[in-house]
Structure 1
Amino acid sequence: MLKNHTDLISSEIAEGTGAGIALATRPEGFRTGLDIWFSDLERNRGPVVELRPKGLKSHQVELRFGNFARPIIEQISEAPDEDIELARSLIESIKAEAKVAIPGQTMDGWLVSDGRFRMHATLRHAESSDNPEAMIATCREVIVPMMAAMAELIGYDVMVVEVDDDDNLEGAVTKREITRRERNPRNRLLCLRIHGHTCKSCGLIPSSLYGTAGSIIEVHHLQPLSSLGEPRKYDPRTDLAPLCPNCHRAVHTRKPTPYSILEIQSLMGEHVD
Structure 2
Amino acid sequence: MLAEKQALIRQEVEEGTGAAICLEEDRSGVQTAIRLWFADLERSHSPIVTLRPTGLRRFEAKLAFGNFAADTIRQMQQASAEELQLARALVASVASSANLKIANGQTTDDWIIDNGSFTIIAEKRGIESRFDDDSVAETCRELVIPVLAAMAELYGYDPIEESAPSDQEALTEGAVKLTVVRRRERNPRNRLLCLRIHGAVCKICSLIPGKLYGDAGAIIEVHHLQPLSLSGDPRPYDPATDLIPLCPNCHRAVHTRRPVPWTPAELRSKLSSD
**What is the TM-score with the length of structure 2 in the denominator?**
0.82
Extract unaligned runs of 5+ from structure 2.
Answer: 167-181
Secondary structure at the counterpart of residue 193 of structure 2: helix
**What is the TM-score with the length of structure 1 in the denominator?**
0.82
- Which residue does 1:216 correspond to in 2? 219
Secondary structure at the counterpart of residue 265 of structure 1: helix
Q: Residues 37-57 of structure 1, C-alpha deviation per residue, up to 9 Å, x if partnerless?
A: 112211111100112233333
- Which residue does 1:200 correspond to in 2? 203
Is the contact made by 1:24 and 1:34 (CA closer than 8 Å) also made in structure 2?
Answer: yes
Is the contact made by 2:13 and 2:145 (CA closer than 8 Å) also made in structure 1?
Answer: yes
Secondary structure at the counterpart of residue 51 of structure 1: strand
Q: Residues 136-179 of structure 1, C-alpha deviation per residue, up to 9 Å, x if partnerless?
A: 443221111111111111111221434899xxxxxxxxx97xx6
- Which residue does 2:114 correspond to in 1? 113
2:66 equivalent to 1:63: no
Extract unaligned runs of 5+ from structure 1.
Answer: 166-174
Secondary structure at the counterpart of residue 60 of structure 1: strand
Q: How far has the Cα of 1:245 moved from its partner?
A: 1.8
2:245 equivalent to 1:242: yes
Secondary structure at the counterpart of residue 25 of structure 2: strand
2:3 equivalent to 1:3: yes
Q: Residues 99-154 of structure 1, C-alpha deviation per residue, up to 9 Å, x if partnerless?
A: 11112222201122321211111211244767776544432211111111111111
Secondary structure at the counterpart of residue 23 of structure 2: strand
Q: How far has the Cα of 1:72 moved from its partner?
A: 1.6
- Which residue does 1:49 correspond to in 2? 49
Between Structure 1 and Structure 2, the one with more helix by share is: 1
Aligned letter for 1:185? P
CA distance in structure 1 between the aligned counterparts of 2:72 and 2:79, rounded to whole angstroms: 11
- Which residue does 1:171 correspond to in 2? none
2:62 equivalent to 1:74: no
Greater shift in the superposed pair: 115-124 or 212-221: 212-221
Q: CA distance change for structure 1 residues 123 and 214 in 2, over 3 Å: closer, same or farther? A: closer
Secondary structure at the counterpart of residue 67 of structure 1: coil
Is the contact made by 1:28 and 1:52 (CA closer than 8 Å) also made in structure 2?
Answer: no
**1:121-136 equivalences in 2 (<5 Å):** 121-127=122-128, 134-136=135-137
- Which residue does 1:153 correspond to in 2? 154
Aligned length: 256
CA distance in structure 1 between the aligned counterparts of 2:165 and 2:129, rounded to whole angstroms: 54
Q: What do you get for the CA RMSD once the two structures are aligned?
A: 2.8
Is the contact made by 1:44 and 1:68 (CA closer than 8 Å) also made in structure 2?
Answer: yes
Q: How far has the Cα of 1:211 moved from its partner?
A: 3.0
CA distance in structure 1 between the aligned counterparts of 2:159 and 2:133, rounded to whole angstroms: 31
Q: How far has the Cα of 1:216 moved from its partner?
A: 2.8
Q: Residues 61-84 of structure 1, C-alpha deviation per residue, up to 9 Å, x if partnerless?
A: 210111121222122112122111
Q: CA distance change for structure 1 residues 106 and 3 in 2, over 3 Å: closer, same or farther? A: closer
Q: How far has the Cα of 1:264 moved from its partner?
A: 0.7
Secondary structure at the counterpart of residue 68 of structure 1: coil
Is the contact made by 1:53 and 1:130 (CA closer than 8 Å) also made in structure 2?
Answer: no
Secondary structure at the counterpart of residue 112 of structure 1: coil
Q: How far has the Cα of 1:36 moved from its partner?
A: 1.0
Is the contact made by 2:18 and 2:188 (CA closer than 8 Å) also made in structure 1?
Answer: yes
Aligned letter for 1:31? Q
Q: CA distance change for structure 1 residues 10 and 256 in 2, over 3 Å: closer, same or farther? A: same
Q: How far has the Cα of 1:253 moved from its partner?
A: 2.6
- Which residue does 1:256 correspond to in 2? 259
